[in-house]
Structure 1
Amino acid sequence: MSHRDDYTYDVEQQLPLPEFFRKYRDKLPLLVIVTDGFCGETKNDEYAYAEIIRLHKSCQQLRVLCKLSANDGAKEEFLSIPVDCSCMFSEVKKLKRVGKPKLMLELLAKKKLPFHVRYASSSDGVITPTLLECIKGVDILLMKTYIEDFFLGNCLQQEVLSPIPSIVALCPNISLSIITGYANKSQDQFHAKLWSMEAFVQRNITFYEGSSEITRFNRSSTTTGTGNPIPIDLLPLDSMHSSDKTDTPPMFISRQKSKSFQDETYDMYEPPPYLGSNQRFSEFEKKPSSLPTESVEYMTVLEEDSTYSVIEVGDTKFGKPFENMKCITEPIASDSDSANNSWSGGSSKSFVTEKSVHDIQQILKRLNLSNYCKTFKKNLIDGTVLQELDEQSLKKDFKFMHVEAVRLMKYVRAGHIPK
């Protein structure tokens, strides 16, 4: 993780993620620091304080709320399925017969909600084995479509932008502040760093527009399984037992709050001023949901043929399933490296990780380090092994000169190739 003291930011300007989304969703990209972290239910709402993230863009994902047919006495359970999901479902017809397997997008484009389906098949790993056992052979009632909002970005690790895309859910327990510069470097160097990040993302990263997973939750859950809070008006009231009915939406209960920046500035024997997480949540509850629901009447087929179909909800169009999230592993040489000396330290994941022993041999030749090819080949140094090394181990174990070790590590961490 990059060190927070290397950057300048205003903690007083921190905002919880829902408010940050409303204010800055159209002003991205931004480099931000987590000033109030949270250990959430998913990887999308679990970010530690002091974590630095480059927010690339915001996105809206159309999902469909479903209800599982429960046995008598069983807890009422719901599913949230991406409309662009690659899984196949079959419509349940009269006499419990089922139709041909179709994508969710195709079913919603041709059939008015609500209606029942059954899971048919999946071409990827969007369903966990536990969930698969739960939904196989079970009638699933598709109830209504709704929209979830997310940030898409990449975390910064040891001053290196991770090539693994991050989906950031709008968790009200996480707060962000905008990073405005380096603490001990010029603004020109900071802007060069931002430019380098933009070039890396544009060339190497492909984002999936939302969460690809089918998730399961119930009325006692704090999120829909994606990391986003359950919208106040999402779940139907008429299906609740009379003892469960309430005018107050379920509380978003913190599972584990991480230490915030402000906590460090107060003496441990004096109770610090409360940061207002409850107050923030109260405000979040009273405001209209930022994740609006849409009824099926607003869904229309815009275009449909054998290869592509589009549906529209309100002013937003949703089309055929996106490609699975992928990361192109081609390195990028940044023009800003000569002016930016901040690429220090290794990344827990770099874009050389997937490269073979043969690929590393070619990289050594390109960096004029071919005299080490034989030793690297003998020791089976592939990308995964290489990204675990550093300058000291290269000099000690492989007898690199200092400048040679720096040259190789610059490539591993930033894709830099001397001009």
Structure 2
Amino acid sequence: MEFDRCLFNPEDEISLPEFYQKYRQCLPMLVVVVGGHNGTTEFDDTPSDTIIRYNKFQSVKRALAQDPKTRRNYISIPVNAKYKFNVIKSISTKNKADHTLAEILDTYPLPVLIQFSESQEIPSEGRNREGTPYQLLITHVYEEVFIQGNFITEGKITKHPSSFSLCPLISVAPIQGFTDRTKKEYDKYLKKLEGYVNKNTVFSESQCNLAIKILKPDADELKDVLQTYQNETTVSHPPPSIPVRGQSLKKARQEGDDDDGEDYEVMEQPMEEVDTYRVAAAAGTPSYVNDRLCQVKPLVAGQDDADDEEGDMYEPMENPDENTTPSKPVVISKPDETPPPPRPVEKPNVRSRSLPNTGAPTPKDTTPPARERGHSTSCADEPEHCKKPLVTNTTNAFDIEEKSIQDIGEVLCRLRLNKYVERFEEEMVDGEILAGLSVEDLQKEFNFSKLEAMRLFKYIEKGHIPK
């Protein structure tokens, strides 16, 4: 069956997502690829002018979690994939038993925290540079739809099935018949194809794309998933109506209504105030709450106020003599007000003194100018941002991705790697890109020596600056 013999209407051309919505219940169907696409995988790579017999739609169940590397993208894991996982119940507790993702989703409600089992080879999407598995919080479960069918080339149908993702860049049109045959002959040809496929071809989920994928939030595959989640989290109550100017939303009171209705709440009567400082003891003798802390002498029961004033709690003071001149008040300086340090005495500038004119030329000062602390002697021709003084290292492994290209240049100077500054600026290497480079990448791409690469890699890992 050749493309030139196919009878189809070019106006019926639609993309694969539209084809799924329109012909969901109409398969099997013979189609021709009008607009092909050279995709990144075999599941979205279909050339134009290809004839395909679409047999069925196959759904692949997937679990969605936020990508721990970027915190912006999402990682999509097939539920029926071959990988094993461990359930993390708390920060310090982990279920060491290995389970498939399908078993975990059947047992635990969403969201559920998992990680790849270390008893297998962990994929790159689920581990860090050291090989430690990431902790993934599964928040969504959705289905990715594929179209499964068989190619028809040179009038022959292939025995092995093919799966096609709903790529919006691929468009097809239904075939209505042959240009050189009748409608009856075309229907007979379709029945012959159906009998061959039912006898020789088996379609299953394992023939679809079961790879782990990193998806951006605006990916077509996630639009309906994230939109549904946002709708579920949105409050379903309608907002209150906007009041009309001059009208009140408060209902008018009717006759017979009492103020003691639901608009009021009965309040409990306040209790009598209790002196929390003096509390009566069990024997009737009052004591003090903070006796031990304040070391206050307790009161004696039955003692009058007059006796208290002359007791041990008071110390008699001498009456001031009227003829005695009052002493000068003592000014107590606050502890925070420290006197300013003495101003250093300016030394006379020896060089500025005029030397006696003896006829000999004035000797020039050959002392080299003092360099700023922290700079090596090999930084004579450094870029401007390399000549800044060193700052105490406060970098850690978590803020390296926030550094700019200029910051990375300063880091190279601090590590005495200033000869690579211009190359890093040409390649536009910032903190995000530098965090993804390994020792081998630095040696291969930038011709680092092993020690230089290790020096920079230790800074990337933990902000280490050689002392």
With structure 1 as the length reference, what TM-score do the two structures score?
0.49
Greater strand fraction, Structure 1 or Structure 2: 1
Which structure has the higher relative contact order (CA within 8 Å, separation 6+)?
A: 1
With structure 2 as the length reference, what TM-score do the two structures score?
0.44
